[in-house]
Structure 1
Amino acid sequence: MSRMGWSEPVIIAPSNGEALSLETAKEQLTVDFDDDDSFIQRLIATACDHVEQVAGLVVTQKTIKLHCHSFGDLQRLPVGPVKEVVAVRYVGPDAIDGTLDPSTYEARLEGLRASIVIRPGKRWPAIQSGSRIAVDVVAGFDEVPAAVCQAMLLLIGTWYRNREQVITGTITAELPDSSGFWSLLSNYRLNA
């Protein structure tokens, strides 16, 4: 998920919701027994993680700490959708930790691409050379879009039916084409 100027996000408070229910995944897989439930739940978590990594999305709401090197990086946050900016922290030139007063900046959180900009008449503070700016945000969908869910279900179906990386037998076959997965995510990719 990292972009130029940004370090890999750190989860402060994980989600307490799921992107997909076990029942939805089992319906997609046409599984009507409980023997594979724990395996399917792992596939749900893995598919969600994969979508988050390749698209730059935060699928289920969680609190995340982001780090960048300059206030200019705040013009485009590396994850979305962002629901709230909790805090923007920095280290001043005197090595004293500071937290920006929310009245000095404006959080633009519409759509998937969030940004934080300085308000007119205000200035970003000076930071200690080599230090990073920390931004805590709450990010994730209120309701996961159908296309994102379907992309995850495609992955789950492929992984459920193809549990190993190599298929052996008398017939050679390739794993299903991933173009459907990418098509479903085309409107939700921040890493494009």
Structure 2
Amino acid sequence: MSCYNAILDKRVLPATPSVPPSTTWQAVSLQDMKDYLRVDFDDDSQLISSLIDAATRLLEATFNVGITQKQLQVALNNSCGGIMLPGAPVADDVVVKDRHGNELDTSKYCLTGLDVKYLEWPQCQYLVLTYTSGYAPEMVPEAFKTAIKQQVTWMYEHRGDEDATSKICPQASATMAPFSNVNPFFL
């Protein structure tokens, strides 16, 4: 039997009363983004709003962070123990279920970490975790907002020129680099 850790699947769950849908608010408001772009007309408002959402999702996926607050459900293989949960910061409301859908009580699993959480045990091939990822609207770090603005600016300026939907611009990459959880190590 081989020993490896892997995220098998991940999805965003519908909003709950404690976690509003991330689609109802944006980490950067449309007006702030238009001011940053120096756009003083409304013709591109829908485009800019869409770019804010796309840039946020792209930065979250590329740097393995949670910017907008959402409920995540993650299926994972924790055979080696110590797997990092995606989408930091991760709240303390983690629910762990085994492959049969049975919820484990807190004495049967061990989470470590502050914002970035690691599942130390159980060490098994299939678990499903449900938890809150990301920041509440008023708590999004300014560096993340800046990176979103930088990415949206790049996407707005490069629309139609090249594939601007999947490439991180150098400015946003530099801004997000200190917060990246892409290749973390576990001690």
Find 1:27's aligned residue among 29, 35, 38.
35
Gaps of 5+ in 2: 15-20, 163-167
When residues 88 and 182 of structure 1 are mapped into structure 2, their CA distance, relative to the original with a 3 A threshold, is same
Confirm or deny that 1:7 pairs with 2:8: yes
Normalization by structure 1: what TM-score? Answer: 0.76
Q: Which runs of 5+ in 1 are unaligned?
A: 119-123, 167-176
Identity %: 23
C-alpha distance in structure 2 between counterparts of 1:72 and 1:49, whole Å: 29
TM-superposed CA distance for 1:5, in Å, is 1.0
Give the 3 Å change call, closer, same or farther, for CA 73–117 of structure 1 in structure 2.
closer
Q: Conserved in 2, the CA contact under 8 Å of 1:20 and 1:149? A: yes
Distance in 2 between residues matched to 1:159 and 1:49, nearest whole Å: 13
| d(CA) in 2 for partners of 1:64, 1:147 | 23
Which residue among 58, 61, 64 is the counterpart of 1:53? 61
SS of aligned partner of 2:119: strand
Q: Once the 2 structures are TM-superposed, how far is the Cα of residue 74 of structure 1 from its aligned partner?
A: 5.0
* Match of residue 127, structure 2, among 104, 122, 133: 133
Q: In the alignment, which residue of structure 1 is the partner of 2:97?
A: 89
TM-superposition CA deviations, 1:7-62 (whole Å, max 9, x none): 23111134243111101100111011211110110010010011011101111010
Match of 2:159 in 1: 163
Equivalent in the alignment of 1:174: none
The answer (yes or no) to whether the contact 2:30–2:45 under 8 Å persists in 1 is: yes
Tell me the matched-pair count: 166
For 1:12 and 1:36, how far apart are their aligned partners in 2?
30
The correspondence for 1:184, drawn from 175, 178, 182, is: 175
- Match status 1:114 vs 2:108: no
Structure 2 partner of 1:102: 106
How far apart are 1:72 and its partner, in Å?
4.1
SS in 2 for 1:18: coil
- Separation in 1 of the partners of 2:25 and 2:181? 22
Q: TM-score, normalised by structure 2?
A: 0.77
CA contact 1:107–1:116 (8 Å) conserved in 2: yes
Q: Residues 4 and 30 (structure 1 numbering): CA distance in 2 closer, same or farther, change over 3 Å?
A: farther
Residues 40/32 of structure 1: CA separation in 2 closer, same or farther (3 Å cut): same
Separation (CA, whole Å) in 1 of partners of 2:108 and 2:126: 19
In 2, the alpha carbon distance for the partners of 1:19 and 1:180 equals 18
Are the structure 2 counterparts of residues 4 and 106 from structure 1 closer, same or farther at C-alpha, using a change threshold of 3 Å? Answer: closer
* TM alignment of 1:58-73, pairs within 5 A: 58-70=66-78, 72-73=80-81
